[in-house]
Amino acid sequence: MTAQEQWSALLTQFFVFDPKSPFIFTSTLFWIFFAGVLLADGFLHRRTLARNFFLFAVSLFFYYKTTGLFFLLLVYTAAWDYLMAILIHRARSATMRMAWLIASVVMNLGVLFYFKYAYFFTDAYNAVAGTHYPVFNWLAHWSNGFFGTHFTVSKIILPIGISFFTFQSISYTVEVYRGKLRPLTRFTDYAFFVSFFPQLVAGPIVRASDFIPQINKPYELTRQMLGMGVFWILNGLLKKIILSDYLAVQLIDRVFDNPAVYSGFENLLAIFGYSLQVYADFSGYTDIAIGVALLLGFHLNANFNSPYKATDVSDFWRRWHISLSTWLRDYVYIPLGGNRKGSIVSYLLLGFFVALVAVLSRSWLVLAIAAGCMAVLMVAGLWIAPFRSWLNTNLNLMLTMLLGGFWHGASWNFIIWGGLNGLGLVMYKAWKHISPWRDTSKWYFRAWSILLTFSFISFTRVWFRSGSSSGWNEMEKTHDISSEFSSALVMLDRIFLGMDLRVVPRVMAAYWPVVLVFLAGMIIHWLPEAWKQRYRAWFAGLPYGAMAFIAFLAVVLVYQVLSAGTQPFIYFQF
C-alpha cells in the first residue's frame, strides 16, 4: 500500500462512519478528535457565536461517528422542540401553551417508543393475540421510496443515546412552559445544548436550566478547572478499564452467560461483582464526560455520589444516576401528585402496567384477576381514609420506579427490576419507623445498613443484567419472558438452593485476582469523601510537568490493559 493509499484509508477511517469502530472514550480516534477540537477551540474561545456553532458542528460529527445517519434524528428533535418552545412562549392562552407542550412531549416520546419499544409491544401483542406479526420499519420504507435509499425495512435499529437526548429535550420545553426559561433565539444555540458531545450518548442528562445559561457566558478555563478536568478523565478511564472491563471479562460475563454451569458461590461473586462493574462503567463514562466538558469550559452536574455508601434504598436512589432520578422526580413523580394524591394519569399508568402483567402471563384470567385487584384498590382508597393515605403516598412512587425501569430498555426484566426497587422503597418507608438499626450514627449499625442495602441492590440487578443481555444491537431478537426471566431464576436457584461452601477455597484460589480487584474498588469507593476531595485538589494543584507525568503513566497503564480487549459502555444501549 502506497503512502497516499495509507493516508486515504486513515482519513476514511476517521471521517466515515464505521459501526465496528465508533467514537467512544476508550478509542484512540476519539482522543485525536478531541485534541483537534481543543486546538480549534483555542482560536475561537473569544468569539462566542462562532464557538457555539463550531461545537454544535463537531457534536453532530461525533454523533455521526457513533451511530451513523441517526444524527439527522437528533437534528429533527432539536428543530421540533426549538419551534415548540417558541410557540409555547408566544401563546396567549393557557390552553394553547399546554397544547404546544403536549405536541413536544408526544413527538419526543413517540420517536422514543418507535425506535426503542417497537419490538417489545409487537412481541406483547403477538403473545396475547396468538399472531406472528413481524416488526416493519415504516421510516426506512418511506425513505427508500422518497429518497431512493436502501435501508432494511425488516429491522429497527436503536440509535445510541436516544433516551438521554430525548429526556434532555423534553426538559427544555417543560421549563419554558413553566416560565423558568425564555426560549433561545438562535437554533444553533439550542441544538448545541441538545447535542453537546461529552454527555450525548450516555449522560448525565443535562437540564436546560443548568446548561443553557453557560452557552453565552465568556469562556473561562482556570488552572483548577484544567487540573480537575484531567483528573476526571483519568479517573473515568481507570474505572472503566481497570475495574469494569477486568471484572466483566474475568468473571461476570461468563457466569451470567451460563449461570447453571457455575457454583452458587461463583454466581454470588458475579452478582456482587456486577454491582461494582456497572457502577465503574457508568460513573467512569460520566467522569470522562465531566472532565472533557470542563476542558471546554462547561460544568456538568455530578451523576453519582458514592451510591454504595447508602444506608437504605431511598438513600441509594439519591446517590445513583442522579440526573435520571431527579428528572423522574421533577417531571413524573411530582406531576403525578407526589406523595399527596393519585391523579387520573396515575391510575391510567397503573392500568397500563396491569395490562403488561397480563401479557407477561399470556393469560386472560390473570388480566381479569389483576383488573379486579386494581378495582378493589381504587374502591378501598375511596372509602377507607387511612388506606387512601397509604395508597396516595406509595402509588406514584411505585409507578415512577416502574417507568424508570422501563426507560432502561424494552425488556420485562427491566420492569421487574424497577418494580423490585419500587417495592424496596415502599417497604423501607414502613420499616424505617420500627427498624432497630435506624441509628446510623453508630458505626456498626451504619455498616450493617450499608451491607444490607448493597446486597438488596445487587440482587435486584440479577434481572437488570439479564435484561441488558438483549441490548440495542440485539433488538430484533424476540424478548419473551421465558428467555429473559430464566437466567435470573437459574442464578438465584444456584445461590439459594445449590450453594456448596466446600467449593469456596477452590473458587477463591481460581479467582483471587478478581476478588482483590473487587475489594480494592470497594475500599476506594468507601473512602471518606473528605479524603477524596483532598487528593483531587492535590492532583489539580500539581505543577503541569508532574500532572503530565502522572497522566502519562495512567494512560500507559490503561492502554496496556486495553490491548487485551475492551467492553462497550453498558449505558450505550439505553
pLDDT digits 0-9 by tens, 143-170: 677 766 666 776 777 788 888 889 899 9
DSSP state of 24: -
Closest listed residue to residue 569, CA positions, set 24, 18, 20, 22: 24
With a cut of 90, say whether residue 516 has pLDDT above it: yes
CA–CA gap between residue 464 and residue 462 (Å, rounded): 6
The amino acid at residue 392 is N
- Mean of pLDDT values over 1-23: 67
- Mean of pLDDT values over 33-57: 88
Determine the pLDDT at residue 8. Answer: 63
Average pLDDT of every residue of the chain: 82
* Number of Cβ atoms within 10 Å of the Cβ of 54: 18
Q: How confident is the model at residue 364 (pLDDT cuts 50, 70, 90)?
A: low
* Surface-to-core class of residue 198, CB atoms within 10 Å of its CB (0-12 exposed, 13-18 middle, 19+ buried): buried
With a cut of 60, say whether residue 411 has pLDDT above it: yes
CA–CA gap between residue 480 and residue 363 (Å, rounded): 14
Closest listed residue to residue 126, CA positions, set 367, 359, 369, 368: 359
Closest listed residue to residue 197, CA positions, set 224, 232, 161, 225: 161
CA–CA gap between residue 87 and residue 84 (Å, rounded): 5
522-528, long-range: CB within 8 Å, 24+ apart, which pairs? 522/276, 522/308, 525/276, 525/279, 525/306, 525/308, 525/309, 526/306, 526/308, 526/309
Q: How confident is the model at residue 208 (pLDDT cuts 50, 70, 90)?
A: confident
With a cut of 80, say whether residue 331 has pLDDT above it: yes
pLDDT digits 0-9 by tens, 274-297: 999 999 999 999 999 999 999 999
Determine the pLDDT at residue 298. Answer: 92
Q: How confident is the model at residue 349 (pLDDT cuts 50, 70, 90)?
A: confident
With a cut of 50, say whether residue 470 has pLDDT above it: no
pLDDT digits 0-9 by tens, 180-191: 888 988 898 899
Catalytic residues: 408
The amino acid at residue 18 is D
Determine the pLDDT at residue 57. Answer: 92
| Cell numbers for 158 | 436503536
pLDDT digits 0-9 by tens, 95-111: 999 999 999 999 999 98
